[in-house]
Chain A
Amino acid sequence: MDGKYGVGIDIGSTCAKTVIIDSEGMIVWKDLRPTGWSSVDTAEAIRKDLPPEIRNNEKTRFVATGYGRVSVPFADKCVTEISCHAKGAVKLFGLRDLNVIDIGGQDTKLIVIRGGAVTEFIMNDKCSAGTGRFLEVMANTLSVSPAAMCRMAEQGNETRISSLCTVFAESEVINLIGMGTPRENIAWAIVDSIVQKVKTQAGKIRLEKEPLCLTGGLCDFSYVQKKLEIVFGRDVLTTPDARFAGALGAAEYAVLSG
């Protein structure tokens, strides 16, 4: 071990994730915090909180990723979240051939990885339908946390909301509330609309038979994973560290950089 560290900072729209690995690729430190309103301030705060022996080590390299990647002033390099998520997922799941479904705060990504390299990817459209943001907005409308809403959905019965646009879907949800529809059913409809949207996106990309792996902020919600398995008709893998996939990939890029 040559005492070199790679720091990967993934500034997402909702959360900032940081992972530090050593030159052997072992995770030695990780951090998760809200991005807040200023990516630059968040990045600076993260730097201050890094273990001093790593922060002050001249061999330490920093790679920033995520939508706020350009707002990390001390980054040696910026790499897109597509490449970082792919690299991180290969490591987390121990697979060279896989498909990543990343449901993030602002966008949803599907990444096809073959032989350890990205061969295709797709990101959702400009709107927030089918993303973590959508889940958050809807949970708000139901006055519960996203986690509570997912648990609620598990108890619900089949109900549909037709619109895939967050703004219109919200008024549909309000309409359902007005009609006295049980909250569990509304929650069911909301999660269903997200996974259906992901499934639709997947039609534009060649996932083939390789495993589906879920990363991003929604991987903690086992119900989302379960629903994805239902719509895709096969297993969807995830791990507790899956929301760090982007930061882990960035840390690997950092170790690899000169």
Chain B
Amino acid sequence: MADYVKMWENLGMDLESHDMLCQVLPTAVGDVFMTQENRPKAMDFWDLVISEVHGIRPAELIEEQKKGRKVFGTFCVFVPDEVIIAADGIVTGLCGGSQFWVPGGEEVLPKNTCPLIKASVGARLGRTCPFFRIADVYVGETTCDGKKKAYEILGQDVPMYIMDVPQMKRPKDILKWKEEIAEFAEKVEEITGNKLSADKLKEAIRIVNEKRKAMKRVYDARKSVCLPISGRDTLLMTQISFFDDPERCAKMCNRLADELEQRIKDGVSVVPEGTKRILVTGTPLAVPNWKLHNIIETSGAVVVCEEMCTGTRYFENLVDDSGETLDDLYMALSERYMKNNCACFTPNPGRIDDIIRLAKEYKADGVIDCSLKFCGLYDIEKKSVAEALKAEGIPVLSLETDYEDSDAGQLRTRIEAFVEMLNG
């Protein structure tokens, strides 16, 4: 068996505690993924990555650090990867999707903080996630009050840089975000010791755009009535894409998309004809949060799209790389990132437009709007989402959950009832 113990030890991890986490992962992966029939062959890449989730990629990152490269840990799709990549830095998402880390977070945060924040803080302070140990610097952002204050706590333990995300989308806000990106670029230059140039940034933009296009190809395949991949599998792909090298990620997504497109041609579907198609919207599903998808897909329905940060918001809209100066390119980055319809904006009609558009594109029979407990932003927005969908004649189920297993029965009842309603 792979022996990463030495590496984890060197990272200062709490091995005993970490082993408890390793104990539960195989059961969840087995139940959620291996119970599926007829999965795409190309999923074997992601099966490997999740099997060795605290091994392969962390070891790669450490090798790169030995060459002098810096690793930036991020929590949000607003942080522009392009800037980091252009300075030869490496981006890694930071995990926060496991109940395992929540109690550790609750030691320093109020209980009524969202589980994603509690888990992220718990993963750092509990020293049980290699990615949280490896990152040289964390890049936070001001997308919600909970995160803003949690970053102050994390900042006592690890170098932290915060980007100030605007709360509205007026032209001056887009300019302001451009300034934030420019300032961040200076910080990235300082940390990496590498000077940015327009050419380097253009190349980085190209790399990340290619990754976005590849992910979109996989998602586009889900628009087919003959559905070649489950929601669970796509979610895993998306979750891992936050951690992987962007060029390898693009390659693997394209490989998967090739297979899915062939499956559509061959009429290979992962569900029986007539299975109700669900669009999931709401707060992110950070790895290894698979509860919602698993419950939906074992209740007689299938997830065809995720309108969330671990979904379409991660790859929709490309960055225009035609600018000639750094300033032009920063503006192009700002324009792309500010198209993201996070609930942190007011007003946020774009998200509702997106949900309705995606529901149609992906031929969804119904929408499940699910937010993490104590996420006021998404919880409050549920009302306008539900009203808009009802006006469009699209059935919607609003849910709230956290990372605990204990509400699975209640979720099952609601989701099964929703599917029964869709089946008429």
Contacts and interface: CB of A to CB of B under 8 A. Distances in A.
Given A82-B413, A121-B421, 19 more contacts: A79-B420, A81-B413, A81-B417, A82-B421, A83-B421, A107-B410, A117-B421, A117-B424, A118-B417, A118-B421, A119-B395, A120-B395, A121-B417, A123-B414, A125-B400, A126-B407, A204-B383, A204-B386, A204-B398
Interface string A194-230: 0000000000101000000000000000000000000
Nearest to B419: A80
- The 6 tightest CB contacts between A and B, nearest first, are A82-B417, A80-B417, A83-B420, A118-B421, A80-B416, A80-B413
A224 to B, nearest CB: 23
Contacts of A80: 413, 416-417, 420
Contacts of B421: 82-83, 117-119, 121
A121 B398 CA distance: 10
B357 interface: no
Interface string B374-407: 0000000001001000100001001010000001
B409 interface: yes
Binding site of B, secondary structure by majority: helix, strand, loop or mixed? helix
Nearest to B416: A80
9 contacts: A67-B409, A79-B420, A80-B413, A81-B413, A83-B417, A117-B424, A121-B417, A126-B407, A204-B398
A125 B395 CA distance: 20
B413 A67 contact: yes
Given A81-B413, A118-B417, A206 B390 contact: yes
A156 B380 CA distance: 37
Interface string A95-127: 000000000000100000000011111010110
A79 B417 CA distance: 8
A105 to B, nearest CB: 14
Contacts of B414: 82, 123
Contacts of B390: 206
A90 to B, nearest CB: 14
B200 to A, nearest CB: 50
Interface string A118-147: 111101011000000000000000000000
Nearest to A117: B424
A126 B410 contact: yes
A129 B416 CA distance: 23
A123 B409 CA distance: 13
A2 B233 CA distance: 47
Contacts, number: 38
Interface string A129-171: 0000000000000000000000000000000000000000000
A79 B423 CA distance: 12
B386, B400, B410, B421, most chain A CB atoms within 10 A: B421
Contacts of B386: 204
Interface residues of A, number: 17
A119 B418 CA distance: 9
Nearest to B390: A206
Contacts of B407: 126
Contacts of A118: 417, 420-421
A35 B312 CA distance: 45
A80, A83, A118, most chain B CB atoms within 10 A: A80
Contacts of A120: 395
Nearest to A79: B420
A126 B390 CA distance: 25
A67 B411 CA distance: 11
B311 to A, nearest CB: 25
Contacts of B420: 79-80, 82-83, 118
A123 B410 contact: yes
Nearest to B409: A67
Interface string B97-111: 000000000000000
Interface string A177-207: 0000000000000000000000000001010
Contacts of B398: 204
B398, B407, B409, B413, most chain A CB atoms within 10 A: B413
A82 B414 CA distance: 8
Contacts of A204: 383, 386, 398
A123 B413 contact: yes
A78 to B, nearest CB: 8
B154 to A, nearest CB: 29
A83 B410 CA distance: 15
Contacts of A79: 420
A117 B423 CA distance: 10
A117 B395 CA distance: 13
Contacts of A83: 417, 420-421
A23 to B, nearest CB: 22
A121 B383 CA distance: 14
Nearest to A68: B409
Nearest to B415: A80
A206 B398 CA distance: 14
A257 to B, nearest CB: 13
Contacts of A107: 410
Nearest to B396: A120
B366 to A, nearest CB: 12
A139 B124 CA distance: 46
B399 to A, nearest CB: 10
Nearest to A107: B410
Nearest to B397: A121
A66 to B, nearest CB: 9
A83 B419 CA distance: 10
A25 to B, nearest CB: 20
A41 B395 CA distance: 38
